[in-house]
Amino acid sequence: MSALLAAAGPSAYWYLTRSTGAVALVLLTFAIVLGVVDVERWSTPRWPRFVLDTLHRNVALLAMAFLVAHILTSVLDSFASISIVDAFIPFVGSYRPFWLGLGAVSFDLIVAVIATSLLRARMGFSTWRAVHWLTYASWPIALVHGFGTGSDASTAWLLIVSVICTALVVAAALTRALVGWPGAIRWRGAALAGAGGFGLFIVLWLPAGPLGSEWARRAGTPSALLGHSHKHSGSSGSGR
Amino acid sequence: MSGSAPTIAERIPDYEPASAAALPRLLSGIRPRGPLPLDEHVEVHGQLPSAAGRGRRRAREHAGMLIEEIERAGLLGRGGAGFPTATKMRAVAGRRRRAIVVANGAEGEPASLKDRTLLESLPHLVLDGAILAAEAVGADELVVCVCESADTGIGSVAGAIEERAASGERSPALRLAPVPSHYVAGQESALVNYLSGGPAKPTFTPPMPFEQGVRGRPTLVDNVETLAHVALIARHGASWFRELGTPSQPGSALVTLSGAVAHPGVYEIEHGASLSSLVTAAGGATARVRGALLGGYAGSWVSGQLLNGVALSNEHLAPHGASLGAGVVLLLSEQACPVAETARLARWLADQSTRQCGPCVHGLDALAGTIEELAAGIAGARVAQRIDQLASLVARRGACGHPDGALRPILSAVQVFQAEFADHARHGPCAACARPVELPLPERPVSDASNREARR
Amino acid sequence: MSHRVRVNPISCEAHGMCAELLPERVTLDEWGYPVVDETPLHGSQVEHAMRAARACPTFALLVERERERARR
């Protein structure tokens, strides 16, 4: 299989890693939305609580599956020499180390969340919940990782999908902070500030960053890879 | 409702015994002021029949014999639940890990003073019983819990512990633990939770304290009065104990008599003594009695008209739907309004919830609200059905007995004072509603921090 | 050996999934908390009860065997 993919050109793995990454992001978005639906206890006769709760768990696990595929394909792809270590330990790689490292950070957080959820019976509720709240951190980090490492940042489809997902996550976080959560003023204030601040950050950063000129170079692509036929200019259309 | 709650006044140390047999027993030698020192305590009761220092085999035999004697005596717990003491001791003694004995003097019941009396004035009797209990269950640690706001009691017990240490007595490690004073804090699992370093809130059982209590060890939690009885049974035997009382509820007991009576206070009676003889011994009623609350705020009301025929034992009170509980007898005068008092009590009981269980938090709150509306005359036409519905929604759905206990004085009041309740439902507050209140209901102190509250 | 369902009222936070998954034994009161029928479970009901217990976010729903109850 990998020989076939290799023969189709390194770009096959690269496409796979891009697509699985995007799908993972979308699935993580839905996982967060469903998580807030869960904690706010919304349900309808057609969609009872246990269905939405199971859906939340299953979507999260599916997102994990795509994440693993995303990591494996990025390692297998020979273009940017990403090693498996880079998936877990951030900022040690050679390809756009900071932006790639953010992916490792996000992945580590998600692993912690999923592990604690699978072992939920063995820990106190407060511990489980504290770790679970890391999802709110893992998502924005994943998004910024995507924009920072990506070659399709300016592609219309990805931009639209990203904007929609960001809006959904921000809405979910705002709902969580504002609805049905008496007291805990400091936490809620922090959550609101975080959600609002992140939205603002994206709006300001995108045009100056990934959508701006020469992003590949500014992002830390090794110079040997710049100017390669697979080079990404940041302003052209489809990926390399 | 305005007006300060009445304070329960002085104790009468000796009075005409309710029967010809020998009383007082527990209260023997009690002084009007200050604790009975160790040497005088020994004079009154004799040496502590302890097995300490006699070797392990003798100690085990001795322990077994003591539990048997207590079983023969038929001693029941005096903290309110009335559980057979010997059964509890056997359960703890039978566990593998080393046990701990907890002497429960927390007494969160506002209308009860007996435990405080014992701890302040007769600490050595309680310590005797606790030490014997420790030997009986093989415990190496003994904790005496005193309400943290009872400075006198804390001082007395601390002094008594020092006296015993100075006398060179060999006993398990004895320590004094001040505990929160609120109503539910004295509940067995709440106390164990607190002593294990947690909040003074009940826990889900099983496991029961006798299996896994303080710091996970088998724990014998006994009321201080129960332990005082143990101290005397060990000296005088089961037959002596049974000379007083009834076959099903033998022995003597401490009761706290308060309300419309000349000399409110702690009295020692034999089980089965008539309520009227107790009231007479306390100087008689100061007003016509509308009703008596027996067993405290987890107890039940008995109508004033029936009181002359009432005897103070659970067997005799059962037909009236009441029980002696922790020995609280509160007489409500005719001047008070039972509906207003019940509304106040219902709200107080709802506030005493530790807020861990939804049905207790919401149910008791809804019940208090319904009674308050009834008292104000603004309840709907189906208020009786609503009260029944709430009662069935609350019963047995909490982690501890508080919601069930709270139902008893409320439902029995609605039953016993039917006419007054019907009157309020139709016409609203009566003239008596504005008069000073009679049920003592202290404000809950802002003590330990609360953990997760019931979600909604 | 029969099984019974019980709720730990302290852990329970009224999520209500138990009532959805085991309506034969659990209904919700007016505040959303479970009212549990402690009649023993039979046959396939036990499976449903186990599933309901797994679905509870706070592990408040317990499926107990007769033998354990006798100890109380």
| Interface touch C17/A121, C-beta < 8 Å | no
Query: What are the chain C neighbours of B455 within 8 Å (beta carbons)?
Result: 13-14
Q: Is residue A102 part of a domain?
A: yes
User: Are B376 and B418 contacting, i.e. CB atoms less than 8 angstroms apart?
Assistant: no
How far away is chain C from the Cα of B295, in angstroms, using its nearest Cα? 25
Number of domains comprising chain B: 3
Report the percent of chain A where pLDDT is more than 90.
Answer: 35
The residue type at A89: I
How many Å lie between the alpha carbon of A201 and the closest alpha carbon of chain C? 34
Secondary structure letter of residue B98 according to DSSP: P
Question: Within this chain, do residues B323 and B384 fall inside the same structural domain, yes or no?
Answer: no
Is residue C40 over pLDDT 50?
yes
Contacts with A53 from chain C: Cβ below 8 Å: 17, 55, 57
Q: How far is CA B211 from the centre of its chain?
A: 23
Distance from the Cα of residue B15 to its chain's centroid: 23
Q: Which helix (H) or strand (E) holds B406?
A: helix B402-416
| Residue scoring higher pLDDT (C71 or A72) | A72
A121 in reach of chain C (CB within 8 A): yes
Residue A234 is assigned to a structural domain of this protein = no
In chain B, which residue's Cα lies nearest the Cα of C6? Answer: B397
Q: Is B74 exposed, middle or buried (0-12, 13-18, 19+ CB in 10 A)?
A: buried
Residue of A nearest to C55 (CA): A50
Instruction: Indicate if B259 and B404 belong to the same structural domain.
Output: no
Q: Does residue B224 contact residue B177 with C-beta atoms inside 8 Å?
A: no
Return d(Cα A83, Cα A93) in angstroms, integer: 8
Residues B381 and B308 in one domain: no
Residue B18: the pLDDT is: 41
CB contact under 8 A, B455 and C10: no
Q: What is the CATH number of the domain that holds B403?
A: 1.20.1440.230
Query: Which residue numbers of B have CB closer than 8 Å to C's CBs?
Result: 203-206, 208, 356-360, 362-363, 393, 397-399, 454-456
pLDDT in tens, chain B (456 residues): 333 322 222 233 333 334 445 788 999 888 888 999 999 999 999 888 877 666 777 777 888 889 999 999 999 999 999 999 999 999 999 999 999 999 999 999 999 999 999 999 999 999 999 999 999 999 999 999 999 999 999 999 999 999 998 888 777 889 999 999 889 999 999 999 999 999 999 999 888 999 999 999 999 999 999 999 999 999 999 999 999 999 999 999 999 999 999 999 999 999 999 999 899 999 999 999 999 999 999 999 999 999 888 999 999 999 999 999 999 999 999 999 999 999 999 999 999 999 999 999 999 999 999 999 999 999 888 999 999 999 999 999 999 999 999 999 999 999 999 999 999 999 999 999 988 889 999 876 544 333 333 333
Residue C49 sits in a domain whose CATH number is 3.30.70.20
C17 vs A contacts (CB less than 8 Å): 48-50, 53
C-alpha distances in angstroms, B215 versus B99, B191, B192, B211?
A: 10, 12, 8, 11
Has residue B9 been placed in a domain? Answer: no
SS (H, E, C) A164-223: HHHHHHHHHHHHHHHCCCCCCHHHHHHHHHHHHHHHHHHHHHHHHCCCCCCHHHHCCCCC
Q: What is the extent of the structural domain holding C46?
A: 3-69
If you measure CA to CA, which chain C residue comes closest to A44?
C20
Residue B210 and residue B259 in one domain: no
pLDDT of residue A100: 87
HSE toward the beta carbon, residue B188, CA cutoff 13 A: 27
The answer to the question of residue A229 being in a domain is no
**Smallest CA–CA separation between C43 and chain B, in Å?**
26
How many domains are contained in chain A? 1
The verdict on a CB contact (< 8 Å) between C55 and A50 is yes
Per the structure, the count of domains in chain C is 1
Assigned domain for A237 exists? no
Copy the structure tokens of residue A220.
């830390």
Q: What are φ and ψ of residue B112, in 5° steps?
A: -115, 135
Domain of B199, in residue numbers: 38-242
Q: Pick from B123, B147, B154, B144: which is nearest to B30 by CA? A: B123
Using CA atoms, how far apart are residues B86 and B67, in angstroms rounded to an integer? 6
Chain C residues whose CB is inside 8 A of the A41 CB are: 15-16
Range of the domain at A9: 2-218
CB-CB neighbors (< 8 A) of B456 in chain C: 14, 31-32
Whether A239 is in a domain gets the answer no
Burial class (CB in 10 A: 0-12, 13-18, 19+), B392: middle
Q: Is residue B28 part of a domain?
A: no
Taking the CA of residue B412 as centre, how many other CA atoms within 13 Å lie in the half-sphere pointing to its CB? Answer: 26
Alpha-carbon gap, residue A80 to A102, rounded angstroms: 16
In-domain check, residue A168: yes
For the stretch A203-213, pLDDT in tens is 888 777 777 77
State the Cα–Cα distance between residues B207 and B193, nearest whole angstrom. Answer: 12
Q: What does the DSSP 8-state code read for residue B200?
A: S
**Which pLDDT band holds residue A5 (cuts at 50, 70, 90)?**
low
Length of chain B: 456
**Interior angle at CA B174, CA B173 and CA B180, nearest 5:** 130
Distances (CA, A) of B258 to B110, B236, B250: 11, 31, 24
**Which segments within B14-155 are labelled E, that is strand?**
99-105, 139-147
Contacts of C48 in chain A (CB under 8 A): none
Residue A228 lies in a domain: no
Residues B322, B345 share a domain? no
**Beta carbons within 8 Å of A146's beta carbon, 6+ residues apart:** A21, A22, A25, A103, A162
Q: Which among C32, C35, C68 has the least Cβ separation from residue B456? A: C32
Percentage of the residues of chain A whose pLDDT score is greater than 70: 87
* CB < 8 Å from C in window 14-53 of A: 38, 41, 48-50, 53
What's the predicted TM-score (pTM) here? 0.84
In this predicted model, which residue has the larger pLDDT, C35 or A153? Answer: C35
Q: Are B346 and B329 in a shared domain?
A: no
Assess if residue B343 is contained within a domain.
yes
Least CB–CB distance from B456: residue in C14, C68, C71: C14
Residue-level pLDDT at A201? 85
The Cα–Cα gap between B351 and B443 comes to 9
Q: Are residues B319 and B198 both part of a single domain?
A: no
> Are the beta carbons of B358 and C71 separated by less than 8 Å?
no
